Structure 1
Amino acid sequence: MALIKQALILGATAIAVSGAAAVGWGTYGPTKVPSIIAPIMAQDEPKEVVDEVWNIVQSQYVDATFNQTDWVAVRKDFLGRKYTNRKAAYEASREMLKKLNDPYTRFMDPDEYSNMKIDTTGELSGVGIQLAVDDKTKELTVVAPIEDSPAFRAGIQAKDVIIKIDNESTKGMDDKRAVQLIRGEVGSQVTLTVRRDKKELAFPITRDRIEIHPVKYRVQKAKGQNVGYIRLVQFSQPAIGEMEDAIRDLEKQDIQGYVLDLRSNPGGLLNASIDIARMFMDKGTIVSTVTRRGDQARKTANNSALTRKPMVVLVDGGSASASEILSGALQDNSRSKVIGTKTFGKGLVQAVLPLRSDNEQSAMAVTIAKYLTPSGRDINKLGIEPDVKVELTEQQRKSLSQDNKKIGTPADAQFAKAVQVLLSEKG
């Protein structure tokens, strides 16, 4: 059996940061992908792409019922068609995967796949938002704006529903079309009209290059004490090294404990969430993944914590996937209190698989497992409830988005509460 490279991702988006991926990617290890049904002997190469996509779902998809879809009948339908070129095969692959009604299982043409890999360079181009198609409403929803991006500075918020891109309605629009409309040349402008609490708001945004350094940290003075403040905006591969550097530096300083800020962090790589959890935990389960066959893999701490000082974690509705793994692990192991508002609620794992039949130019992401927190919680569509709930008012949100230097300071109400809890835990 051939080996296919795969990357395990935990992003909350179906893909979209104005033309670049919102989730990270990276090799997590090879996976055997057996052809459950012998491939039809295709007379043309484009059909082989469709067949490979079908076989990956057949062998790997998390739900053995394929979300109540007759997957064998789907194969007969799509491989009974003629495909004259690659583009036709790409569109058929998208159409086929839509039958699963899973926004996270998706086909990526060469441009989309290339855009996804851009994320490993730490630089994005566009307005800086993560998008997801809501499971129930099918509306384009903002998972989170990237901190200090054009969208963030304009005031776009997590959970905003994008109803128009410039003058085009997004009703029935998929994430691919939305990305095409939102992305563009640096310096050009796009207007996003969103629905927020029954109000319609229009945001003219100038596109720009967005450099992402996933970890920002400092010693923050609060209540007369020194607190180590770490803001993690994405679980990319560079985040692992940057987090280690941050903790080692802060440990040399006279800090009382840590506030780890995961607000508006949409997720990223599974291995990054595990490695970072190990920096704060000496023992205990971090996460368990469960496949459709019931196979369970458990990741644990390994006595390699870089700090044992008290800590609290900040989350909100934009904290998703890998953020939920980390906050859930720290919460369930009583390592940290979680402060803020309920998290996004994505408890699914995708593998990114380049397609051999297309010379690895295109790829697909397929949902292969669900994950559970250490206590066995399935948080998909439910999210993680904070230990201490702190809602920001509209005015407080606006103040932070207009001046992000206030984030992680006493002027930030959620941070202020986190410090109060942290110092009471220490005392």
Structure 2
Amino acid sequence: MGFMQKQVFRLGFSLLLVLSLALGIFTQPATALTDEQKLVSEVWRIVNRSYLDETFNHQNWAAVRQKALEKPFTDQKAAYVAIQNMLKSLDDPFTRFLDPEQYRSLQVNTSGELTGVGLQIALNPQTGILEVISPITGSPAEKAGMRPRDRILKIQGIATTNLTLDEAAARMRGPIGSLVTLLIERDGEGEKEVRVVRDRIALNPVVAELRSSPQGQPFGYLRLTQFNANAAMELAHAISSLEKKGANAYILDLRNNPGGLLQAGIEIARLWLDSGTIVYTVNRQGIQGSFAASGSALTDDPLVVLVNQGTASASEILAGALQDNGRAQLVGETTFGKGLIQSLFELSDGSGLAVTIAKYETPQHRDINKLGIKPDTVVAQQILTRDQVATEADLQYQAALNILSQDSVVARMGNGE
């Protein structure tokens, strides 16, 4: 699956449609809606109540409903098309309809394992082109050389311009050992074909190692590849284990981490922060809520966080929280810039609806959507092979090491302690 945006799951949601019958001597009873019309109406109401933009992309949302329900639908597929057209008018690639199969696979994706090529994808909000946020570490896509910001033009010869995000993801999933051919475009390199063999994608999100700085100081290197349901618990175990082994500083690598569950981002920020706001969520009424640290930090050792343009969504919440609270220094490149939060609703026929319900702001009220987060130390990096990450060839990692290796008193002052 390719988007892994911040999601607040509200499962089992359904609406009862109350039909008022106009009864009287001179009036005909109102015609009851068909099941297909009820579904379209259900989607319209959820968006009407919870969508972030109260202008609905500067259109009369009631008129959109009226137009969609003008004539009865011949079948369920026609209703699905009407829903997709209705949502398309919002011009928000993250607010989208999921048929029952797509809805089920999205739930699997955030829970731990899937089969396919291992790409996190998104529709670029400005261009509408299908883009790679990042390949999953160790996945077939990464081994085939796919990179963040690659534009996917065709999947098995089918142009992606007419596909929804979920249709594109479905075409890339498939049985282990089967082949999928992608036509991609990359800045400075033009178009090229990439052949990827599908495999099982293990979503074990944490890599943890005790390492020594050039000065011989023990530090923990932690790489977090995504924010799934296991991420916070696994990272907590890793930090506790590294503390016991004597780590007295940390590098947290969030490069090419496309995000995932909002709650996982908040829980992981709490592992590093004893106090302070982590994130503000802003819905159409204004600030809807905020999440704060809970006094449960596992360490106050100096921390440097590595970020790049594949760092997105929940990763940006974490990076922004650590930067704004003075808890960590960020090193690398400006992040992806996805600052929108989706909620997932289950519809009455087993299909689903992802709706952008809020945006988020960092503790210092920075809105990062489409802008990203700029690191404290900007270091450009050529593309690395998997074996070069966090080695001497990795300039961003080396810059982080240099920051940690400075006098620990200076480092701690820099951490706001």
Q: TM-score, normalised by structure 2?
A: 0.90
Cα distance in 1, alignment partners of residues 296 and 164 from structure 2 = 43
Which residue matches 1:336? 328
Instruction: Give the aligned residue type for 1:196.
Output: R
Aligned pair partner of 1:112 in 95, 102, 110: 102
Cα distance in 2, alignment partners of residues 120 and 202 from structure 1 = 29
Aligned pair partner of 1:158 in 139, 148, 161: 148
For the residue of structure 1 that corresponds to 2:294, the secondary structure is coil
Cα distance in 2, alignment partners of residues 202 and 196 from structure 1 = 11
Cα distance in 1, alignment partners of residues 233 and 403 from structure 2 = 28
Aligned pair partner of 1:310 in 302, 314, 317: 302
Instruction: Give the aligned residue type for 2:230.
Output: P
Which residue matches 1:353? 345
Number of paired residues? 399
Aligned pair partner of 2:258 in 266, 269, 274: 266
1:181 aligns with 2:171: yes
Tell which deviates more after alignment, 24-33 or 113-122.
24-33
- Gapped regions of structure 2 (runs ≥ 5): 22-29, 410-417
For the residue of structure 2 that corresponds to 1:237, the secondary structure is coil
Instruction: Give the aligned residue type for 1:409.
Output: T
1:406 aligns with 2:388: yes
C-alpha contact (below 8 Å) 1:166/1:191 kept by paired residues? yes
Q: 1:276 to 1:157 in 2, by over 3 A?
A: same
1:69 aligns with 2:55: no
1:299 aligns with 2:281: no
C-alpha contact (below 8 Å) 1:24/1:116 kept by paired residues? no
Which residue matches 2:26? none
Cα distance in 2, alignment partners of residues 28 and 307 from structure 1 = 33
Cα distance in 2, alignment partners of residues 209 and 38 from structure 1 = 51
Cα distance in 1, alignment partners of residues 320 and 233 from structure 2 = 22
Q: 1:42 to 1:343 in 2, by over 3 A?
A: farther
Which residue matches 1:421? 403
Cα distance in 1, alignment partners of residues 355 and 371 from structure 2 = 21
Cα distance in 1, alignment partners of residues 388 and 31 from structure 2 = 61
1:211 aligns with 2:202: yes
Cα distance in 2, alignment partners of residues 292 and 38 from structure 1 = 30
For the residue of structure 2 that corresponds to 1:103, the secondary structure is coil
C-alpha contact (below 8 Å) 1:214/1:235 kept by paired residues? yes
Instruction: Give the aligned residue type for 2:322.
Output: L
Which residue matches 2:118? 128
Aligned pair partner of 2:218 in 226, 234, 239: 226
Instruction: Give the aligned residue type for 2:365.
Output: G
Instruction: Give the aligned residue type for 2:134.
Output: A
Q: 1:228 to 1:163 in 2, by over 3 A?
A: same
- Gapped regions of structure 1 (runs ≥ 5): 1-15
Cα distance in 1, alignment partners of residues 194 and 368 from structure 2 = 32
Aligned pair partner of 2:367 in 366, 378, 403: 378
Over alpha carbons, which structure has the higher Rg? Answer: 2
% same residue: 45
For the residue of structure 2 that corresponds to 1:350, the secondary structure is strand
Cα distance in 1, alignment partners of residues 19 and 320 from structure 2 = 39
Cα distance in 1, alignment partners of residues 18 and 316 from structure 2 = 34
Cα distance in 2, alignment partners of residues 249 and 46 from structure 1 = 54
Cα distance in 1, alignment partners of residues 47 and 199 from structure 2 = 37
User: Which consecutive aligned stretches of 4+ in structure 1 deviate over 6 angstroms post-superposition?
Assistant: 28-41
TM-aligned CA deviation for residue 379 of structure 1: 0.6
Cα distance in 1, alignment partners of residues 20 and 93 from structure 2 = 27
1:248 aligns with 2:237: no
For the residue of structure 2 that corresponds to 1:117, the secondary structure is helix
Aligned pair partner of 2:376 in 387, 390, 410: 387
C-alpha contact (below 8 Å) 1:25/1:116 kept by paired residues? no
C-alpha contact (below 8 Å) 2:111/2:229 kept by paired residues? no
Aligned pair partner of 1:85 in 55, 75, 78: 75
Over the aligned positions, Cα root-mean-square deviation in angstroms equals 2.4
Which residue matches 1:170? 160
TM-aligned CA deviation for residue 334 of structure 1: 0.6
Cα distance in 1, alignment partners of residues 60 and 269 from structure 2 = 40
Cα distance in 2, alignment partners of residues 35 and 386 from structure 1 = 49
What per-residue deviation string (whole Å, max 9, x for no partner) do you get for residues 24-66 of structure 1? Answer: 7664699998999999974311111111100001000111101
For the residue of structure 1 that corresponds to 2:286, the secondary structure is coil
What per-residue deviation string (whole Å, max 9, x for no partner) do you get for residues 301-346 of structure 1? Answer: 1211010000010111111111010000000011000111010001
The 5-angstrom pairing of residues 8-23 of structure 1 reads: 16-17=1-2, 22-23=4-5
Cα distance in 2, alignment partners of residues 382 and 24 from structure 1 = 17
What per-residue deviation string (whole Å, max 9, x for no partner) do you get for residues 246-298 of structure 1? Answer: 11101101223111111111111111111110110011110001110114311
1:287 aligns with 2:269: no
Q: 1:34 to 1:261 in 2, by over 3 A?
A: farther
Cα distance in 2, alignment partners of residues 34 and 379 from structure 1 = 37
Aligned pair partner of 1:366 in 355, 358, 367: 355
C-alpha contact (below 8 Å) 2:122/2:130 kept by paired residues? yes
Cα distance in 1, alignment partners of residues 294 and 142 from structure 2 = 37
C-alpha contact (below 8 Å) 1:36/1:55 kept by paired residues? no
Which residue matches 1:10? none
TM-aligned CA deviation for residue 94 of structure 1: 1.1
